[in-house]
Amino acid sequence: MNSITPASIVLLLPLFSAFTILLLHRQLKGAAALISIGSSAICAILSMIMLGAKDTPIGEPQHILSFIHISDSLSFDINALIDGQSRGMLFIVTFIGFLVHLYSYGYMKDDEARPRYFGSLSMFMFSMTGIVLADNLVMMFIFWELVGLSSYLLIGHWFQKPSACEAAKKAFLTNRIGDFGFMIGILLLFGLNHGNVEFADLADSFKTGPLHDLKESHSWVITAAALCIFMGAVGKSAQVPLHVWLPDAMEGPTPVSALIHAATMVAAGVYMLVRVSFLIGASEMAGQVIAGIGGLTAIFAALMAVQQNDIKRILAYSTLSQLGYMVMAVGLGAGEAGMFHLYTHAFFKALLFLGSGAVIYACHHEQDIWKMGGLSKQTPATYLTFAIGTAALIGVPFVTSGFWSKEAILGAAYEHCKILFAVGAFTAFLTAFYMTRLFIVAFLGKPRTDSASHASDPPLVMIAPLLVLSIMSLISAIPFVRGRLQAMVPHEHHSDAHWLIVGISITALVAGVALAFKLYKGKDKDPLNIPLFANKFYIDEIYAVIIKYAQDRLAWIVTGLERVFVDGLVARLPAAIACRIGSAARSLQSGHMQGYTFLLGAGIVLAIYVAVFVLPRIGG
Amino acid sequence: MITLNHYLFVSGALFSLGLAGVVIRRNILVLYMCLEMMLSAANLALVAFSRFHLVDGLPDYTAQALVFFTITVAAAEVAVGLAIIVAVYRAKNSIDVESVTKMHG
């Protein structure tokens, strides 16, 4: 029997909560929210306790249950791998999860489908915890799909809105493309490593095992596997070219955007890449591709964010851009810097999203920043916390956590690839620019509409998570907290380049903020008009055209093949043969009695002939 | 001297004539008589076998007992068959065998 450990409780309690709510939501009504919040609170406390616990010895994950058991050498288990990386991530997931649950209690107060919302949220917590604790790729893939499902359910929470339905579908389908690659990657590793996909075993195998030999002889196979696995991350972490689902996912409730589409689920791709960093380390080309995609995403998303007007969409593009940073860091072999940025980003981006939720709540579901303005006076608490979040995101030096983690990534980029460093620095400039733009337009100046002038701070249950998160955004980079959160602390750069990097990033920050102030101070309309950025580089349109011309053509061809082969050869031909045989046999049944008699007689004669003349001759 | 083969030849001829009649003739009554002739052919063959198969110097009477059974059964069959023919005539108003072709596929 399995012993009950904190890890198994953290994993299974949300599942229990989800099932209770989804099965009994009619009976539970308001209690559903409390069950869900309670379970997330317990998980948060447990994972906080686990932060102080000792590591499980490497290669000995805690067994929770057997999932598939074919033979002793071929079985997949649900285990809990507790190490520095998973404990830190577990804390982020459960802690932010708890705050988001609490916030949702206020934000979703008037929603009729609140039990369903909280049930799906618990479902998400279960799935995400599973990803974090996974000790093998198969378990990770199972929970990977489960987070995709929960994300689909939560984006489509307001399924009465066609746009929400479309967004949910888009997110799911886009993720399928990535997941397909991920699956192929897992199967490749499964085959290459003789049916063992545990992280510890794979890492060993790269040192002294079949994968090591393979790396020497057929390195392209390793590259292919690494890139296939990376495809999973491209889908989940919304990297170019599969980034299109994330901005649309903002159709979901804002707390969901904060938890799933900013802090945790989209970061799962980065988390997974760090887990398989031995694989990326084994293939230089895969690392370069990953870093390149990350850098590309960072700069593209930042450019798109510059021209958005929806407060949540700006944040969504900013999330894309920051995820690009993390993926770039992982690709450059600086996984610890990526994870560091993941942690700090989780706090300040959740803060920003929850803050935008508070703004939207205060302005009666207005999301266009040009219809806000002057919120600093109306909603001081939101204003203050949003300011802290913005400062952390744009990396105000020394006091915010974002500065340190971005610093770590830029440092890694400077070491490995100067081009990516330039991309990162330019993205930092853009980030400062668009976040300042958002901040000035929404919070400063005069109210532009009635809803903005009558806005007021949301209730305490929503403000409290904002305050906690803003504290975390400030302190999560100081060595004490940082050391608690992660085993892998990025090594400090105390070279000459260090001050150069700091100088460049501060210059980028100041330039971005100054430019935004100059352009947007006191403006009622956007002085910039760059259709290319506002229309997201027309990528959605390009995809639509590709689908129209390529996919529909393909479908047409496949339909043709189907008509000939499946319809014709498989279905129609045997039917026709049976039909012919039937009608031939039917013509024997003439109904003429004498015909039957004749056949009877002929049969007897034949039988006698055979019995008398044929059988004796062949010796029967 | 009349041997077994002579009897069997007559029996075979009778059977063939009967079968030919059943196949060729149209009148159900004639058909029926031909059928009876085939039965008689079989009876004749049985009696001939009985006469020429000596057991302890006597003919084998088992076959002749079988012939009596056959004749009895044939008589019963005639009763049923004629009744059917009457029924067919009533239904079709004809005793042509071609009028009874309902069983075609």
Please check the confidence at residue A65 and state whether its pLDDT lies above 80: no
Short-list A156, A244, A170, CA closest to A535: A244
What is the per-residue pLDDT across B48-79, written as a single tens digit (0 to 9) for each? Answer: 999 898 888 888 888 899 999 999 999 999 99
What is the per-residue pLDDT across A352-374, written as a single tens digit (0 to 9) for each? Answer: 999 999 998 888 888 888 888 88
What is the per-residue pLDDT across A189-198, written as a single tens digit (0 to 9) for each? Answer: 988 888 888 8
Backbone dihedral region of B56: left (phi > 0), alpha (psi from -120 to 50 degrees) or beta?
left
List the single best residue of A592, A604, A608 to mutate versus B (max B Cβ within 10 A): A592
Say what the pLDDT of residue B56 is.
Answer: 87
Cβ separation A590–B101 shorter than 8 A: yes
Considering only the beta carbons, identify the residue of B23, B24, B104 that sits closest to A591.
B104
* Burial zone of A90 (CB within 10 Å; 0-12 exposed, 13-18 middle, 19+ buried): buried
A590 to chain B nearest CA, in Å?
A: 4
A558 to chain B nearest CA, in Å?
A: 42
**Which chain A residues are within 8 Å of B19, Cβ to Cβ?**
597, 601
**Which chain B residues are within 8 Å of A590, Cβ to Cβ?**
101, 104-105
DSSP codes, A82-139:
-SHHHHHHHHHHHHHHHHHHHHHHHHTTT-TTHHHHHHHHHHHHHHHHHHHH--BHHH
DSSP codes, A305-358:
HHT--BHHHHHHHHHHHHHHHHHHHHHTT-HHHHHHHHHHHHHHHHHHHHHHHH
Q: Model confidence at A470, in pLDDT bands (50, 70, 90)?
A: very high
List the single best residue of B8, B23, B35 to mutate versus A (max A Cβ within 10 A): B23
R_g (Cα) of chain B, nearest Å: 17
Short-list A110, A48, A93, A173, CA closest to A361: A110
B78 to chain A nearest CA, in Å?
A: 18
Mean pLDDT of chain A: 87
CA pair distance A18, A470, nearest whole angstrom = 29
CA pair distance A68, B30, nearest whole angstrom = 80
What is the per-residue pLDDT across A541-593, written as a single tens digit (0 to 9) for each? Answer: 888 888 888 888 999 999 999 988 888 888 899 999 999 999 988 887 877 88
CA pair distance A63, A104, nearest whole angstrom = 33
**Which chain A residues are within 8 Å of B22, Cβ to Cβ?**
594, 597
Mean pLDDT within A246-258? 91
- Chain A residue nearest residue B105, CA to CA: A589
**Which chain B residues are within 8 Å of A612, Cβ to Cβ?**
none
Please check the confidence at residue A2 and state whether its pLDDT lies above 70: no
Domains along chain B? 4-98 (1.10.287.3510)
What is the per-residue pLDDT across A373-423, written as a single tens digit (0 to 9) for each? Answer: 888 888 888 999 999 999 999 988 888 888 888 888 888 888 888 899 999
Tell me A253's DSSP state.
-
Cβ separation A591–B22 shorter than 8 A: no
Angle, vertex CA A336, rays to CA A235 and CA A55, nearest 5: 105
- Chain B residue nearest residue A595, CA to CA: B23
Q: What are phi and psi of A584, to 5 degrees?
A: -65, -45
Beta-carbon contacts of residue A240 (< 8 Å; ≥ 6 apart): A293, A296, A297, A300, A324
Higher pLDDT, A72 or B3: B3
**Which chain B residues are within 8 Å of A601, Cβ to Cβ?**
19, 23
What is the per-residue pLDDT across A283-303, written as a single tens digit (0 to 9) for each? Answer: 888 999 999 999 999 999 999
Considering only the beta carbons, identify the residue of B23, B97, B100 that sits closest to A601.
B23
What is the per-residue pLDDT across A153-168, written as a single tens digit (0 to 9) for each? Answer: 999 999 999 999 999 9
Spell A509-543 as b/e; 16+ CB within 10 A means b.
beebbeebbeebeeeeebeeeeeebeebeeeeeee
Beta-carbon contacts below 8 Å between A and B: 32
Say what the pLDDT of residue A493 is.
Answer: 54
List the single best residue of B31, B38, B95, B103 to mutate versus A (max A Cβ within 10 A): B103
Displacement of CA A197 from its chain's centroid (Å) = 21
DSSP codes, A44-85:
HHHHHHHHTSPPPPTT-PEEEEEEEESSSSSEEEEEE--SHH
**Which chain A residues are within 8 Å of B24, Cβ to Cβ?**
594
Beta-carbon contacts of residue B69 (< 8 Å; ≥ 6 apart): none
Considering only the beta carbons, identify the residue of A589, A594, A597 that sits closest to B104.
A589
CA pair distance A565, A559, nearest whole angstrom = 10
- Chain A residue nearest residue B103, CA to CA: A591
Cβ separation A587–B22 shorter than 8 A: no
Q: What are phi and psi of A119, to 5 degrees?
A: -60, -45
Say what the pLDDT of residue A3 is.
Answer: 62
Which residues of B make CB contacts under 8 Å with A? Answer: 19, 22-24, 97-98, 100-105
List the single best residue of A581, A594, A599 to mutate versus B (max B Cβ within 10 A): A594
Say what the pLDDT of residue A1 is.
Answer: 37
CA atoms within 13 A on the CB side of A351: 31
Please check the confidence at residue A540 and state whether its pLDDT lies above 80: yes
Cβ of A162: how many Cβ atoms within 10 Å? Answer: 9
Tell me A565's DSSP state.
I
Do the interacting molecules here have an ipTM over 0.85?
Answer: no
Length of chain A: 620
